[in-house]
Amino acid sequence: MATKDLYEILGVSRQASQEEIRKAYLKLAHKYHPDKTGGDKAAEEKLKEINAAYDTLKNPEKRSQYDRFGQAGPGFGPGFGGDAGFGGFGFGFENAGGFETPFEDFFDVLFGRPGGRGRRRSAARPGNDIERRVTISLREAAAGVKRSIRFSRMEKCADCKGSGAAPGTQPRTCPDCHGAGQVRRAQGFFSITQTCRQCAGRGWTIDSPCGKCRGAGKVQTQRELAIDIPAGVDTGSRLRVPGEGEPGENDGPRGDLYIVVEVETHDVFVRDGNDLICEAPISFPQAALGATIRVPSLQGEAEVKIPAGTQSGQLFRLRGLGIPDIRGYRTGDQIVRVVVETPTRLSREQKELLQRFQELTQEQNYPAHVRFLGKLKEWLGG
């Protein structure tokens, strides 16, 4: 190995840039890795040779010495590249300052890890979402309404323009991670990437914090927005207002504002999806003889025709008098449930009339009652 030209081993010219040398190494290391060659001994020796060459040429100082003196120069004695550890395949670690090793470069390519070589900076992150609740009436839910929403959120500090540094000063690149936001620690054969403690992953530090935001770059502010609440919303509906949430980190986008709707209960109507249900009491004569009654609706009043012989609990549907669908489909209906009210506090004359009415009653006047008596007799085995 010592007699071979290192540039020739990596397949590059002597004028190759450091990046060209690195790419050539990664390609060859991938090609001759044991996972690719099935443990072929010749490939193992070739990989040792490749790593030894790269160990020299990746270092500008070592490369300069090699270009001037060749392998006869200082530090290029027998075994100059070393076995470089990791099972004899040359995946060793450099000095603890850069944490850039052939081992790490190789796995950047082999496993598709983006960036590599410590160039990863703190990623842009979107801001947090904000959630606020608003209460509206049933009529407003049916027709839609515009509401003014007040809420607090963080804004870029006007004094430091979001830098966090006092006016006239600037943040400086973190000395620990050199702006990457992450540091690598060598542990045995492996390298562990951690968030930089000095800068908390930001990549910079502040020597003179802004007096207004205390170095945060953001301050709490009050915000007011006019929100259009569409017709058809129901309790639990969440309306998204994009870009009105908290600011992002590292130039990330703002989060969103979510309006959670709560519809007040109504004294008359009960909502069932897009339908409205209400109860209407009617008298015994109205149920028996038929009548036209007036019932409330969200649009005012509506008429319901009660046919003769209507029973308590019978349902009548008023088309299109319910809640419009929030997605623009058909409007719901209003369902009227009639309840026959039994009269109370009768006068003597009313009681006499009812008694006379009862005497004139025949079985065909109460078919449901007759059916019930038949079932009762059958149940008792009569």
Q: What is the pLDDT of residues 245-262, one digit of tens each?
A: 998 877 789 999 999 999
CATH superfamily of 270-342: Urease metallochaperone UreE, N-terminal domain (2.60.260.20)
List C-alpha distances in Å: 337 to 26, 55, 159, 203, 270. Answer: 79, 88, 65, 68, 11
Question: For residue 199, what pLDDT is reported?
Answer: 83
The set of residues, in sequence order, having a beta carbon less than 8 Å from that of 110 and lying 6+ positions away, is: 30, 33
Return the minimum-mean-pLDDT range out of 93-107, 210-224, 352-366: 93-107
Instruction: Give mean pLDDT, residues 6-17.
Output: 89
For the chain, the structural domain boundaries read: 6-110, 122-158+214-265, 270-342, 349-382
Same fold, 6-110 and 270-342: no
Question: For residue 250, what pLDDT is reported?
Answer: 73
At 25-56, the pLDDT tens digits run: 888 888 887 767 777 888 888 888 898 888 88
Is pTM beyond 0.75? Reply is: no
State which CATH number among 1.10.287.110, 3.40.190.10, 1.10.3720.10, 3.40.50.970 fits the domain covering 6-110: 1.10.287.110
264 near 237, Cβ under 8 Å? no
> Counting Cβ atoms within 10 Å, is residue 231 exposed (0-12), middle (13-18) or buried (19+)?
middle
Return the minimum-mean-pLDDT range out of 24-28, 307-311, 331-335: 24-28
State which CATH number among 2.60.260.20, 3.40.50.300, 3.40.630.30, 3.40.50.2300 fits the domain covering 122-158+214-265: 2.60.260.20
